[in-house]
Amino acid sequence: MDEKHRKPEWVPRDAGKEFATRVLSAGTAPGENAVNNASQPRRARFSAAEIAKGVTQGNRAFLARAITLIESNSPRHFEDGQELVRLLLPASGNSVRIGITGTPGAGKSTFIESFGIWLIERGHKVAVLAIDPSSSLSLGSILGDKTRMEKLGRHPNSFIRPSPSGGALGGVARKTRESMIACEAAGYDVILIETVGVGQSETTVRSMVDFFLLMQISGAGDELQGIKKGIMELADLIAVNKADGDNILPAQQAAGELNNALHYLRPATPGWTTRALTCSALENLGLDKIWDAVQGFLEHGKNTGIFAERRQDQVLQWFESLLTEAVLNRFNSDPRVKSQLPGLRDRVQKGELPVLLAVKTLLDEI
């Protein structure tokens, strides 16, 4: 039976197609895009080598599977995931990695949908990943729980993935970095990483992309956005969105004010002048200017060596976060730690044992 007409278990065995309904196979990981998943491989388990092969052949279902493995919080999957990344690395690196941030409602997802399709029409393959600092709390996702970017999601040259849920931001950053590698190995040459401007997420995204785009809007909340000077200092380009209809002039004014303010700020990338321009994600206006800026930036980065240097620094950060995670994994799965930890926790909580002594006891165990 094909995937579309798979019958749920409660359907009588001899029932006809009238009972057929659309059910995703059990192998579908939570949050995976059902549209992207149309050709999900049926078998439950694949080796890292098999997944890597599927990914490098550009198969989206295998790419989704690869990312599920990379994102797994289970120590059991950690080594398989790392083996997979090792196999994918040689085929990675050939993309432009663009971070996109902005307050909720600025139009990020509308922009990603329009810009993504615009890029695909020009021969690119576009992957969209997200970092959502709230997801570990809500177990939801800024992308996963809404039917956003539907048109982009349906396009065979796109791949959309909600943010990994759970875990510390450091772990999320490591997973996103490795997911990016998987997307590149699958042939995606533009990677868009969306984040809501909350907490440390912008600095985290900045530390893994080549180019950082800040999306703003004119009018309500200008003052508030302006306060976020720190974010402006991370941006390589500011796009004042919703420059359409009656809002064209206010948007242009806002861009002008931002350009004035930018004179006084330190540029995010040495030698590169961060500018503000206007666009309309809804009406596809100004997308070309944004892409031109990305191209100009890449040229500047490649000519000056900044591009290569930035990527080298990022690899170092990746190393640090992977190291931290690997050490923690090894520590937590050590049988001596496992047997001692609950008792120590209990005694610390009851005030029977000083915190530092508890830590020392545990470290001395291994």
Q: How far is the CB of 241 from ligand GDP (least distance, A)?
A: 5
Q: How far is the CB of 169 from ligand GDP (least distance, A)?
A: 20
Query: Rounded to 5 degrees, what are φ and ψ at 95?
Result: -150, 170
Nearer to ligand GDP, 48 or 276 (CB): 276
Residues with Cβ < 8 Å from 259, sequence gap 6 or more?
275, 276
Q: How far is the CB of 65 from ligand GDP (least distance, A)?
A: 27
Q: How far is the CB of 307 from ligand GDP (least distance, A)?
A: 28
Indicate the SS3 state at residue 220. Answer: coil
Nearer to ligand GDP, 56 or 135 (CB): 135
Nearer to ligand GDP, 109 or 163 (CB): 109
CA distances from 81 to 72, 132, 210 (A): 8, 22, 24
Instruction: Give all strands (DSSP E) within the chain, no chain letters.
Output: 96-102, 126-131, 158-160, 190-196, 211-217, 237-241, 275-278
Indicate the SS3 state at residue 247. Answer: helix
Q: How far is the CB of 285 from ligand GDP (least distance, A)?
A: 8
CA distances from 151 to 5, 125, 218, 224, 365 (A): 23, 14, 27, 32, 55
Q: Name the strand (E) or helix (H) holding 239.
A: strand 237-241
Q: Are 245 and 282 in contact (CB under 8 A)?
A: no
In the numeric block, which tokens belong to residue 308? Answer: 């290569």
Q: How far is the CB of 209 from ligand GDP (least distance, A)?
A: 17
Give the separation between CA 33 and CA 124, rounded to whole angstroms.
20
Q: How far is the CB of 281 from ligand GDP (least distance, A)?
A: 4
Buried b (16+ CB within 10 A) or exposed e, 81-104: bbbbbebbeebbeebbbbbbbbbe
Nearer to ligand GDP, 252 or 329 (CB): 252
Cα–Cα nearest to 27, from 19, 37, 15, 17: 37
- CA 222 from chain centre, in angstroms, equals 27
Nearer to ligand GDP, 114 or 269 (CB): 114
**Both ends of the chain: CA-CA distance in Å?**
53
Q: How far is the CB of 4 from ligand GDP (least distance, A)?
A: 30
In the numeric block, which tokens belong to residue 56? Answer: 């490098």
CA distances from 134 to 68, 234, 334 (A): 19, 21, 31
Give the separation between CA 162 and CA 324, rounded to whole angstroms.
24
Q: Which positions touch ligand GDP (CB under 6 A)?
A: 102, 104-110, 241-242, 244, 280-282
Nearer to ligand GDP, 105 or 166 (CB): 105
Q: How far is the CB of 145 from ligand GDP (least distance, A)?
A: 13
Query: Rounded to 5 degrees, what are φ and ψ at 210?
Result: -85, -35
Q: How far is the CB of 143 from ligand GDP (least distance, A)?
A: 9
Nearer to ligand GDP, 118 or 331 (CB): 118
Residue nearest to ligand GDP (CB): 107
DSSP state of 317: H
